[in-house]
Amino acid sequence: MGFERFGTVSFTTETKAADFINYLEKGQVSATRCKKCGRVYFPPRVQCADDLTTEVEWTSLSESGTLLTFTQVNYGPSGFENDTPYTLAVVEFDEGIRVFGRLDKTIPSGDIKVGMKLRAERLNLAEGKISYQFVKA
């Protein structure tokens, strides 16, 4: 339980990676790292896809990532209609992972440039829900 608080539309209440929401409540956007091979996962996974070990540890995303690509959403899917327009982005972090998420709505659209530095932070949503977003680093 607890994971139902994640996101505008919650698709699951149960996950082995539910600690993600506990870290997010503390303001930390977290990934998992395999203790055996070092591979980092976001969304967090509790089992490494490479060596199948469940020996993973939680880690924060690095403080700065690079915007790889983005798109503005003007017609949102079910549950997101009232949030439009918003910008979806893919950010590459130093850990070598690419993270998909929303861009801070306060960033003017003309300021959004591929290659800009961003970091992930907690985003408070309606009804006590939480998520993460990318803000300028």
Task: Kindly list the residues in this chain that would bind Zn ion in the complex (CB under 5 A).
Answer: 34, 36-37, 39, 48, 50-51
Question: 34 vs 123, which CB is nearer to Zn ion?
Answer: 34
Decide the pairing of beta strands 130-136 and 117-124: antiparallel
Question: 57 vs 127, which CB is nearer to Zn ion?
Answer: 57
**What are the tokens at 47?**
């089992």
Question: 5 vs 39, which CB is nearer to Zn ion?
Answer: 39
119 Cβ contact list (under 8 Å, min separation 6): 61, 62, 63, 64, 65, 134, 135, 136, 137
Amino acid at 115: G
**What are the tokens at 135?**
């803000």
**Shortest Å, Cβ 38 to Zn ion:** 7
Half-sphere exposure of 101 (CA within 13 A, CB side): 28
**Shortest Å, Cβ 67 to Zn ion:** 28
Question: 37 vs 114, which CB is nearer to Zn ion?
Answer: 37
**Shortest Å, Cβ 68 to Zn ion:** 24
Distance CA 114, CA 33 (A): 27
**Shortest Å, Cβ 46 to Zn ion:** 12
